[in-house]
Copies of this chain bind each other. A is one copy, B any other.
């Protein structure tokens, strides 16, 4: 019923296949159950992500986090408090000789599991400009080779976007 007029400029890529009841997308809303939105509610700001970047790079102390993120002290303090409240970071006391005990910020296990988010964002940002000789790169310590993200299924097949389907979980056959 639809007359498409494709032009070379309108090249598009295959998206996900909707399966089961989810094929009728108007019958379902993901509002309230969307994991991506839940994640973004906690870490979906530039300030949260630049602080997390610096924590991933090894910064722990408030003054280092402020200097390296380029955020103001007020913004950094507010965001760090939120990240601690959400269980992404935790505070750990430290004391330098002659100084009072202070708190540093370290990743929790939950925070560490943002690793693929950080890598996939860096990887995508890499596509945006042709300056591949500058900036930092992430490598595998043991072999020195650069790292990237791959999507794989439980049977260890590499999975492209066009090979992906989306369905409601309540329709998943329960065989176990």
Q: Which residues of A come within 8 Å of B, CB atoms?
A: 1-7, 9-19, 22, 25-26, 29-31, 33-46, 49-50, 53, 55-59, 64, 67-68, 70, 90-97, 101, 106-129, 131-143, 145-155, 157, 159-161, 163-170, 172
Q: Which residue of B lies closest to A146 (CB)?
A: B154
Partner of A1, one of B97, B112, B170: B97
Residues of B within 8 A of A109 (CB): 11, 13
Q: Which secondary structure characterizes the binding site on chain A?
A: mixed
Residues of B within 8 A of A13 (CB): 106-109, 111-112
- Tell me if A96 and B58 are in contact (CB < 8 A): no
Please, how many angstroms separate the alpha-carbon atoms of A91 and B4 in the complex? 12
Q: Which residue of B lies closest to A174 (CB)?
A: B133
- Tell me if A90 and B58 are in contact (CB < 8 A): no
Please, how many angstroms separate the alpha-carbon atoms of A25 and B92 in the complex? 21
- Tell me if B15 and A107 are in contact (CB < 8 A): yes
Please, how many angstroms separate the alpha-carbon atoms of A43 and B17 in the complex? 23
Q: Which residue of B lies closest to A95 (CB)?
A: B3
Please, how many angstroms separate the alpha-carbon atoms of A101 and B149 in the complex? 39
Please, how many angstroms separate the alpha-carbon atoms of A107 and B164 in the complex? 15
Q: Which of A17, A91, A115 has the most CB of B within 10 A?
A: A115
- Tell me if A117 and B121 are in contact (CB < 8 A): yes
Please, how many angstroms separate the alpha-carbon atoms of A155 and B170 in the complex? 39
Please, how many angstroms separate the alpha-carbon atoms of A55 and B40 in the complex? 18
Please, how many angstroms separate the alpha-carbon atoms of A31 and B72 in the complex? 14
